[in-house]
Amino acid sequence: MDQTVSRRTAPLTGAYRPEGDKSLSHRALLFAALAEGTSTVRRFLVGGVTKAMLRCLRDLGVAWSLDEETHTLTVRGVGPKGFRAPAAPLNCGNSATTFRLLAGVLAGAGIPCVLDGSEGLRKRPMNRIADPLRLMGAAVETAEGRAPLIFAPASLKGVTYALPVASAQVKSCLILAALTADGPTLLTEPGPSRDHTERMLSAMGASVTPVAPYGARVEPLMAPLRPLDTELAGDISSAAFLIVAATLVPGSDFLLERVGINPTRTGIVDALRAMGADIVFENESSMAGEPVADIRVRAASLRGTSVSGDLVVRMIDEFPAFMIAAAAAQGETIVRDAAELRTKESDRIAVMTARLRALGVDMEEYPDGFRIRGTGRIPGGAAVDAQGDHRVAMSLALAGLAADRPVTVAGFEMLNESFPDFPKVLGLC
Ligand code: S3P
């Protein structure tokens, strides 16, 4: 399945329940390892990125078992100081979430270890965690600000730290380190990054409280974390591809069931609604401290919009899919304040601009964003490559569903990192 051809498709109808949220799956697994006792996690995402976290934890001496049929995970917690020094570097694959969250745990774990990953991961910025971890007293070396990171045992202290960019991975790394520090830690950040770490750790008994407008105050753990017995909400970042697909394919009326609608993640819905999309939340409830809803999407014609500021943070993973919506809309879409997109699995501004241009879209990049002049149609009719980025792969396939001529996507298998069901749900193979 290295390459797929995506073309106009029948309307999306019926219902689909997305797999467990990627961010929640990473956190449930890692926090379960930090707890005392056995945790059970249902609807755990079985994808390349979570398999990276599973592999690393096994190498750190954590016992877990995963039923890949039912997506049920059990983890025997070892506590923050109970990890075994790994014999070889820990391989985080392509998963920056695995890397950055584990770094926070390893900084205070009292063991020597090396944290590494794929060639792609080695290109991503890691000083954003290494610098504040050092402020906390961590003994960590980087390869000129990139992976691998080399940790030696160290005692951590509580700090006050203002994150220069809104990042849930950095915030979570520091919250996890703060759990083993000698005093409280105060973290502030410039925007509303996802708050799943705060919610889940609080539910497990840690003292992690929100700070206005954005940030968290963390007290060192006074008692062991309680194990989890939980079912995870569906991934809105995976659902976003289907929301865009159902919006763009005429005649669609599609229901996405039990999807997480944490307000730090629903920026894509706000942006698409501003463009004229027909998206309705039904049956709102909560699952394990996270708001969920069924999301009904009916096809609609879109118009251009502008996105900047906090909205960028609340839809940070959804820009590749959003670009397809903007390309298929009538009128101009402008995005600013989004330089972070250049630090993801690929430089998503440069990579998507080159590919959408190859598909006949009028698109221009800015250092911190892009402009798309939508004409209401995507010409298509080209072969484009995913650049090793799962969300680029899925977005290019999405373009094919709405384009005049088919789109061939090379490197399509990258979708297995986060959304293995994607081809099945959209009838691609
Ligand atoms: C994530 C945070 C985001 C997001 C990533 C998952 C998380 O990264 O892009 O896919 O689970 O904390 P940043 O924190 O770097 O923005």
Measured from the CB, is residue 264 less than 6 Å from ligand 1? no
Does residue 185 sit in the same domain as residue 288? no
Does residue 8 sit in the same domain as residue 142? no
Confidence of residue 224 (pLDDT cuts 50, 70, 90): very high
Catalytic residue among 317, 362, 385, 421: 317
What are the angstrom distances between the C-alpha of 72 and each of 19, 64, 66, 219, 418? 12, 11, 6, 31, 17
- 295-335 pLDDT per residue, tens: 999 999 999 999 999 999 999 999 999 999 999 999 999 99
36 bridge partner residues: none
- What mean pLDDT value characterizes the chain? 97
- Residue 344 lies inside a defined structural domain of this protein: yes
The Å distance, Cα 97 to ligand 1 centre, comes to 6
Does residue 83 sit in the same domain as residue 126? yes
Quote the CA–CA distance of 314 and 312 in Å, as a whole number. 5
Give me the residue label for tokens 């749900």. Answer: 425
Residue 420 has pLDDT above 90, yes or no: yes
- Residue 388 lies inside a defined structural domain of this protein: yes
21 is catalytic: no
Give me the residue label for tokens 């994808």. Answer: 47
> What is the percentage of the chain residues whose pLDDT exceeds 70?
100
- Residue 156 lies inside a defined structural domain of this protein: yes
Torsion of CA 215, 219, 221, 226, to 10 degrees: -50
| Nearest CA, atom 13, ligand 1 | 167
Domain end marker among 167, 194, 221: 221
What are the angstrom distances between the C-alpha of 300 and each of 17, 137, 245, 375? 22, 53, 11, 15
Domain end marker among 177, 195, 221: 221
Atom of ligand 1 nearest to the CA of 170: 14
Does residue 408 sit in the same domain as residue 259? yes
Give me the residue label for tokens 């689909």. Answer: 16
Confidence of residue 288 (pLDDT cuts 50, 70, 90): confident
- Supply the pLDDT for residue 2: 86
- Residue 226 lies inside a defined structural domain of this protein: no
- Supply the pLDDT for residue 5: 95
| Nearest CA, atom 4, ligand 1 | 317
- Supply the pLDDT for residue 228: 98
Does residue 113 sit in the same domain as residue 249? no
- Residue 50 lies inside a defined structural domain of this protein: yes
> How many structural domains comprise the chain?
2
Domain end marker among 192, 221, 250: 221
Does residue 297 sit in the same domain as residue 343? yes
CATH code for the domain in which residue 140 is found: 3.65.10.10
Residue 128 has pLDDT above 90, yes or no: yes
Q: What is the average per-residue pLDDT within 139-164?
A: 98
Does residue 282 sit in the same domain as residue 213? no
Measured from the CB, is residue 168 less than 6 Å from ligand 1? yes
Does residue 184 sit in the same domain as residue 259? no
Residue 414 has pLDDT above 60, yes or no: yes
Does residue 160 sit in the same domain as residue 239? no
- 299 secondary structure, DSSP code: -
Sheet strand arrangement including 407-410: 3-6, 407-410, 383-385
Residue 153 has pLDDT above 80, yes or no: yes
- Residue 343 lies inside a defined structural domain of this protein: yes
Calculate the CA 258 to chain-centre distance: 18
Confidence of residue 1 (pLDDT cuts 50, 70, 90): low
The Å distance, Cα 356 to ligand 1 centre, comes to 24
- Supply the pLDDT for residue 115: 98
| Nearest CA, atom 11, ligand 1 | 23
- Supply the pLDDT for residue 24: 98
- 70-98 pLDDT per residue, tens: 999 999 999 999 999 999 999 999 999 99
Q: What is the average per-residue pLDDT within 45-53?
A: 97
- 346-364 pLDDT per residue, tens: 999 999 999 999 999 999 9
Does residue 211 sit in the same domain as residue 172? yes
- The range of the structural domain enclosing residue 45 comes to 22-221
Measured from the CB, is residue 197 less than 6 Å from ligand 1? no
Does residue 376 sit in the same domain as residue 268? yes
Does residue 272 sit in the same domain as residue 406? yes
- Residue 227 lies inside a defined structural domain of this protein: no
- Supply the pLDDT for residue 277: 98
- Residue 228 lies inside a defined structural domain of this protein: no
